[in-house]
Structure formats: C-alpha cells, structure tokens
Structure 1
C-alpha cells in the first residue's frame, strides 16, 4: 500500500487477513524534514508487522544542500521543473528551512559523508524502514547514495540532526496520505 494512515493500515490488514494474506509494506513519503508518519503510522505498522519502503528520503533534493538561502534556484534542478517537481519541493524552499538544512553540512563533514548520504542514512536508521527509494538524475548519484547503507548514525548524531532542523520539520500526522497536504 502507499501513503496509508494508521486507521487505513488497521482496516486494510484486517481485510487482508480475512482473505488469507497480509499487507507487508507501506510506501509513504519520509525524510528528516517530512516525518508525518512517525507518531501514528510507524507504531501501527510495527504492531501489524508492516514495514516502510519510503520515497523522497532526500526531500526532493533539498537535503543535499544544493539549494541555498537567499540564492537563485539552480538551473536544471527539481525546483525549476514546471512539470510538477517544483510544486513538490516548494514547501522546503523558504530561507528558514534552507538555512537549517545548511546546518547539516558540518554533521555530514564530521562523518566524512555527503549531505545526501546523511539524509538517506537518517531514514535507514529507523528500524521500521526496510528501504529508501532514492531518485537520481545521474548514475553517480546512485553510486554515492548506496554508500549511505553502510553508515550508522548514533544517538548523538541523530540528536544533532534534530537540533539542526528544529521547527522546519513537518510532523503533522494529519498530512499522511493527503496529496493536497503534501503540497503545502
């Protein structure tokens, strides 16, 4: 299933079991900036034996650090994609969020990894995440992002990431599953 709320997961799993099978994974959006599944979906999923295969772990590229506060958007970037990519990323492009994202750079540097690797490693640090779907526009991005699976983030690093991102993180579980809510 994809983008289901906790209530939908419960009802869906019950219906599945009545018909002799189980839901085994949910495919929600999840990143260090978009955590709407943490309070309800993840605990319910653990209870029901459902894991997450998440999309947008790098928050549409924002967590790579390529978007800078007060600067023009890079040509060829998702933020300039008029086929819909620009709408998905727009919520992250305010200077406050971009400034907070830049505070992740010293954390990544201390670990000897890129900001994209830090973002993917952060997602994979959640024990209910089975996999992260990472988009790439070039093969070398895939090779670099794969290295994130070798990174272990300890509690101190996770706390530093939380401190850096602060109130730029979206946590409202009411935005789970709603395409309209994801675009605001």
Structure 2
C-alpha cells in the first residue's frame, strides 16, 4: 500500500480506500473490511443513510479489534436514515442528529472525515458551517469534505470554512476513465484551495472491471440484482460502450494488471487524487483492488486508453450539478 496526504492537510490516507455503500449486507462484508485492514487500507468510507444505518454498523463490526488511531473513518450526512420530509439535508438540527447517530452506530467518539454528501438548496450554507464549527470544537469531527458539489459551491464553502475554522480538506467526486467531469472545474478549484480528492465510482459500477459483455450479466453482479444498484448500472450496458471497453483487457494484460487494477491505477495517476474508494463483496476483490496502489502507467498506455474510449468519455462540468432531491430516502451516491 501507498499513502498520500489529503490535499494540503496533514491527514494521511491509503491510496486505495474501502467503501461499503452496496456491500454492507453481504455474508462476507465484515471479512472484506478485515482484509482491507490487512492489506494496509486506512480509509474506510460509509454514510448514515446507507442501509438505514446498517452500513455503519457493519463497518464497526469489521473494524472491531483494530486500533482506532490506525484508521480514518469517513461517514457523511444528507439523506435521512428514514423517510420523512422533516429530516435530511444539512441543517443544524439534521447534522447534529445524523452525526450522533453515526457515532453510536460506529461505536466511536469521533469521525475523522465528515462528508456533506450533496449541496443543500434548502439550508443557508452559513448555518451548515456554523454547525460544523461547533462539532469540530467538540472534537466529534476532525475534518470535513464535500461530495458531488460544483466548483462554485466548493468555493463558497471554502470561504465559510475559513471564517468558522472548519478544516475543509476533501472532496468526493465520481471519477473514472469514462467519467472525467471533475477535471475541468472541480479539481482545479480544489487544488487552489488545498482540497484533495477522494475518488469514487472508478470502476463504473463494474463495467471498467470487465464484468460485463454484450448480454452477459453474472448472477452475482449489480446488473442482475434489483433496486438502485441495477438502475445505476443499466445505462452503462450499451453494446457500443461495452465494445469500446473490452480492448482495455489487452491493455491491462500487457501491463501485468487486471482490468480493475488498470482502472484504479488510471485514477491514481492524478496527483490531486489522494485515494480511490472501492467496494467489494468478497475478500479476494479487496486484495485485487489494493494491488493497484503504487502502479505507474506509461504515457503510451494512457494514450491507448484515451484512443479506445474516444467519445464515450464524459467531460461536461455541468454534469456535476445535483438537483435538490434530498427528500428521497434513497442515497444516490457511492
């Protein structure tokens, strides 16, 4: 494993982090967490709304016995743990209630990194950062991060964070070979502000890991399942896109990598990315993914990737925009 500072802060995280958005309720979920620890992973990412709090409880069980100071626990707030119009968002009341619930479920006195999982169009940003300032002073939150915010929103947040002495050090975008939306505005803005990136969705729901072919959906895959996971993967399962992705298998093989390792290593080539967060349903997937740490790709490999994916690469910064849907109980994040 390799380690990087998150932005210009002193917080050090593993190049590959572990997240349990869709993998917290499987039979091997806690074994995956323990394997991640054994492989040198230090960043563990979860959220209050995932599984109605079940993801945090699962992570706590997986980390039982691991010294608290050896890991960076990241959780976040925005969606309510339960349905209800009066809950959710980033109001003072919601943040305090959500964080205290997270601390209880995670069996810890503090979280290292607290994510604001979407921008709240219904609450003044001043109120959000005043509340965060109090939580930081109380020692319950050490650092703060945004997630899927636009460059303009992050700029606004940074000014308030400085005024209220809130250590805003991270941003969590979706970022992959196919989804390069943060590159033109979000990442440059964060660089100027000393904010590091915690990249998610680097495997594009498994497409960039080579899990899918034309009409081929493994029985244990997200495409074969149901609910939100299926809804997110199906738009990617087009014949044209899968045909473009398949040759990446040869590129990966020539580098001595699996397709998943190639996709993760591609994200880590960006020095402004501190960590790439991956999920796993089996310990062997954790071991495969963590092997991407420290891999350097030659310029000709990066050129081959660009040529193969061509116009399927998304770069429009307007796609960062997340409309105000926080009243939904379904967390649309990774």
Range class of TM-score, shorter chain = over 0.9
Gaps of at least 5 residues in structure 2 are 1-145, 325-331
| Corresponding residue for residue 225 of structure 2 | 81
* 1:129 maps onto 2:266 in alignment: no
Contact (CA 8 Å) 2:199, 2:275: kept in 1 or not? yes
Distance 2:322 2:239 in 1: 25
Shift of 1:139: 0.5
Which structure dedicates a bigger proportion of its chain to helix?
A: 1
Cα distance in 2, alignment partners of residues 50 and 18 from structure 1 = 16
Give the number of equivalent residue pairs: 181
1:31 aligns with 2:180: no
Q: How far apart are the structure 1 equivalents of 2:284 and 2:216?
A: 25
Structure 2 counterpart of 1:51? 196
2:211 pairs, out of 66, 89, 110, with 66
Shift of 1:86: 1.0
Question: Structure 2 matches for 1:1-184, cutoff 5 A?
Answer: 1-69=146-214, 71-178=215-322
Larger radius of gyration between Structure 1 and Structure 2: 2
Instruction: Pick which of 169-178 and 124-133 moved more.
Output: 169-178
Cα deviation digits, residues 137-158 of structure 1 (max 9, x gap): 1100000110101310122111
Shift of 1:81: 2.2
Cα distance in 2, alignment partners of residues 98 and 37 from structure 1: 23
Query: Is the CA contact 2:171–2:195 (under 8 Å) kept in the aligned structure 1?
Result: yes
Structure 1, unmatched stretches of 5+, are none
Partner SS state of residue 78, structure 1: coil
CA-based RMSD of the aligned residues comes to: 1.7
Q: Deviations over 1:4-39 (max 9, x none)?
A: 110011000011001123310001111111111111
